[in-house]
Structures are given as structure tokens and as C-alpha cells.
């Protein structure tokens, strides 16, 4: 394992992130704070509680997960796309660093950024509502697994994209709608029975449900099922990345 190469790429990505604090941290935190104000205060005043949890507190895990998904995708996709755009990706491919080490470095950096931001948002949420975490170990587990999984997905998007507009195509048209329909602002048990069944085909439901359970002990889906589904998503993403490096898809041309 080439630790020096992994550390070099990881530190470069982290340094680039810290140079754009306003865009990387302040902007997402302000956007999430607006969600707390609009949904927590305005709508929360009309909804007393959901499954025994105040509505303002109930949406906190969902909002953290929403930000985590978006940031994991964008951080990882841009990190690998920019070397392709600049032509420096060939230096990485020909350097004495394996494909596994390359993925570890880029995905590790993207996941770290997303987790830091999620923790900042969690602290910010306490300024608006009292948040409790009943299962902190599970909270950290879901946080890390989700960040890594969607950083892997973002890595795939970054390789697939052949223009800056495509970097936002899947996050905007697929992931964000799935997040909003995945129980971010509500429990799927509040939906009609038919729509509850349909919602179970939404992968984000399992992520949000498991993460919310770690906070309040309430979930739309069994926590074990949520964990297994998260691992399945990660395995699929890893499988796609393995295929990309074996075939050289979008890398050798």
C-alpha cells in the first residue's frame, strides 16, 4: 500500500477544500439553516410531533442526510473530473499508485469533507432545536457509510461526465428528488399505503430511516435492513468503479 501517494492526494484535496471555505462550508450551512427556519418554525408550529418527536427535531437527521448526500456527490465528482478536464489524470494513472489507492485517496477526502460538514450542521441544528442522539455509535456508522457510499457514486459520476453541466445532472435530477421523497421532511408512514410501498423502492428511505433511528429510536424501516441496504449500495458502487478501471471507461480516451 503506497501510503505516501494516498496521503499526497488526500492532503491536496483537503487543502483545496479549505481554500474555498465560503463555498464549501458556509454556503451549505446557511442553506440548511434556512430549512430549519422554514420547515422547523413555520411548518413545525402547525405539526406538534411525528412519532413522539417534535417536528423541528424530527427533520434534523433528514436535513443532515440531505446535505451529506449532496456534498459527498459534488466533492467526489469534481475531485476526479477536474484532473480529467485539465489532462493531469494521466499523470495519476501512470504514477506508481494502484487504482485501489487512487480511489481510497479521492473517496476518503470527499467523505471526510462531507462528514465534517454534517457535524457542523448537527451543531448548528442545536441552535434551533434540542437534538438528542440515543445511539451515537450507530449514528457515526451510518454517517461514515453513507458518506463513503455516495462519495463512491460521485467518483463514478466524475469519470462519466464529459462536461461541467453533467456533474450536476444526476445530483439535481435524480438524487435530490429521491432525497426529498425519501422521508427527509416526513415519515413515510404518513403516506397512503400504496405510496408507502412505492417509497420502499427509494434507496434514500433506508439511509434516512436508519440515520433517524440513531437519533430518536424511531424508524420507517428496520435498522438492520437499512444497514444492509447501505452496504449493498456501497458494493454496487465499488463494482462499477472496479469495472471502470478494468475497462478504462472514460479514462483512456
pLDDT in tens, 95-107: 788 888 989 999 9
pLDDT at 172: 84
- 3-class DSSP state for residue 50? strand
Low-confidence ranges of the chain (pLDDT < 70): 22, 40-42, 44-45, 252-253
Q: In sequence order, which residues have a C-beta less than 8 Å from that of residue 193 and are 6 or more positions away?
A: none
Which one, of 151, 113, 144, lies nearest residue 28 by Cα? 113
Supply the pTM of this predicted model. Answer: 0.90
Burial of residue 82 (CB within 10 Å: 0-12, 13-18, 19+) is middle
Backbone angles phi, psi at 49, to 5 degrees: -160, 160
Query: Residue for cell digits 444497514?
Result: 227
Which one, of 84, 95, 106, lies nearest residue 252 by Cα? 84
Locate 91 and state its grid cell. Answer: 499523470
Burial of residue 23 (CB within 10 Å: 0-12, 13-18, 19+) is exposed
Q: Report how far residue 100's alpha carbon sits from residue 92's, in angstroms, rounded to the nearest whole number.
A: 12
* Per-residue DSSP letter, 37: I
pLDDT at 153: 94
Locate 112 and state its grid cell. Answer: 471526510
pLDDT at 180: 85
The distance from CA 201 to its chain's CA centroid, rounded to whole angstroms, is: 18
pLDDT at 2: 81
- Residue-by-residue DSSP string for 158-169: HHH-SSHHHHTH
Q: Report how far residue 19's alpha carbon sits from residue 12's, in angstroms, rounded to the nearest whole number.
A: 11
Q: pLDDT (tens digit, 9 = 90+) per residue, 203-234?
A: 999 999 999 999 999 999 999 999 999 999 99
pLDDT at 56: 84
Residue 70 sits at the vertex; the CA angle it makes with 152 and 230, to the nearest 5 degrees, is: 50
Amino acid at each position: 500500500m503506497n501510503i505516501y501517494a494516498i496521503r499526497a492526494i488526500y492532503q491536496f484535496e483537503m487543502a483545496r477544500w479549505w481554500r474555498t471555505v465560503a463555498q464549501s462550508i458556509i454556503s451549505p450551512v446557511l442553506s440548511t439553516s434556512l430549512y430549519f427556519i422554514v420547515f422547523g418554525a413555520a411548518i413545525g408550529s402547525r405539526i406538534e410531533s411525528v412519532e413522539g418527536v417534535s417536528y423541528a427535531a424530527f427533520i434534523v437527521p433528514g436535513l443532515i442526510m440531505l446535505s451529506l448526500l449532496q456534498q459527498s456527490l459534488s466533492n467526489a465528482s469534481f475531485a476526479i473530473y477536474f484532473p480529467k478536464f485539465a489532462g493531469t489524470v494521466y499523470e495519476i494513472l501512470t504514477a506508481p499508485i494502484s487504482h485501489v489507492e487512487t480511489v481510497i485517496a479521492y473517496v476518503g477526502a470527499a467523505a471526510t469533507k462531507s462528514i465534517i460538514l454534517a457535524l457542523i450542521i448537527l451543531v448548528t441544528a442545536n441552535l434551533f432545536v434540542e437534538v438528542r442522539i440515543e445511539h451515537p455509535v450507530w449514528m457515526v456508522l451510518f454517517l461514515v457509510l453513507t458518506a463513503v457510499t455516495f462519495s463512491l457514486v460521485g467518483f463514478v459520476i466524475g469519470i462519466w461526465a464529459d462536461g461541467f453541466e453533467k456533474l450536476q445532472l444526476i445530483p439535481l435530477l435524480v438524487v435530490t428528488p429521491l432525497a426529498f421523497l425519501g422521508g427527509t421532511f416526513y415519515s413515510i408512514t404518513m403516506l397512503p399505503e400504496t405510496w408507502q410501498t412505492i417509497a420502499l423502492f427509494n434507496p434514500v428511505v433506508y439511509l434516512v430511516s436508519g440515520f433517524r433511528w440513531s437519533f430518536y429510536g424511531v424508524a420507517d424501516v428496520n435498522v438492520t435492513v437499512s444497514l444492509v441496504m447501505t452496504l449493498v449500495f456501497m458494493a454496487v458502487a465499488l463494482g462499477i468503479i472496479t469495472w471502470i478501471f478494468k475497462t478504462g471507461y472514460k479514462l483512456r480516451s
